[in-house]
Amino acid sequence: MFRNIIVLLLLALSMEAFAQRNGELEFAGIPFGASRETVIEEVMKMGYEPFGQMGKGERVVLPMFNFGELPVQVSFIFNANDKFYAFEIRTGKVEASRRFKAIEAAEYMSEQFTLKYGKPSQAPTLVESAIKEGRNNYQEWFGVKVLNAFTAVVGKSNRYFVLGYVEHRTLAKEGLSQKKGKEKGSDQPVF
């Protein structure tokens, strides 16, 4: 009897951990691995009008998405099999005199990533005076083994914006080996 209770308790805990991990593998309720059509359908159900819907390999972009308190642009990125494998979140650009706003946005975005993906691998690495042209990593998350996730402040032409990026590693590679295999097979006769 006692053994059965322990087994049930362990089973319940493992199911909760699975549900939590499975919830990390999505964006706004859209799971990684979803088809382009599914992503477009789900985005439209949320009341957004996506751009870039046509053509294999193109991104589906939401020019205005409410990421909590932060208005952002979201890009859904698809692999060689046209499955959703990554998303990119960008804030609007600010002038050099308002760089502090980019740091505030990076802090907010990083807080949201921490709620979703757990503790970041390091403390924030930037202060306003240290921001240079190019991509300046702010924080990275390694808590979910199949994901690459980071936030960064990007400087270009004396304007700054925040970039958040999450990629499913397995799905990112999917289709690449099949594509290579087809290229190899092209040397073989077709009959």
pLDDT 10s digits, 177-190: 555 544 444 555 44
Mean pLDDT of the 81-107 span: 95
Residue 22 lies in a domain: yes
Q: For residue 191, is it within any domain?
A: no
3-state helix, strand, coil in the chain (%, to 5): 40, 30, 30
Decide: 162 and 91 in contact? Cβ < 8 Å: yes
| Residue 31: predicted pLDDT | 97
Question: What residue type is 8 in one-letter code?
Answer: L
Quote the tokens at residue 38.
């599914």
Would 79 be classed as within a structural domain?
yes
Give a yes or no: residue 123 inside a domain.
yes
Assigned domain for 17 exists: yes
On whether residue 181 sits in a domain, the answer given is yes
pTM, two decimal places: 0.78
User: In the predicted model, what is the mean pLDDT of residues 110-117?
Assistant: 95
User: Does position 128 have pLDDT exceeding 70, yes or no?
Assistant: yes
Q: Above pLDDT 90, what percent of the chain?
A: 63
* Per-residue confidence band for 11, with pLDDT thresholds at 50, 70 and 90: very low
Query: Token pair for residue 50?
Result: 């996506």
DSSP 97-166: GGHHHHHHHHHHHHHHHHHHH-S-SS-----GGG--SEEEEEEEE-SSTTEEEEEEEEEETTEEEEEEEE
Give the mean model confidence (pLDDT) for residues 19-41: 83
Cβ contacts of 142 within 8 Å, gap of 6 or more: 121
Domains identified in the chain, total number: 1
Domain that holds residue 104: 2-185
As a whole number of angstroms, the distance between CA 18 and CA 148 comes to 19
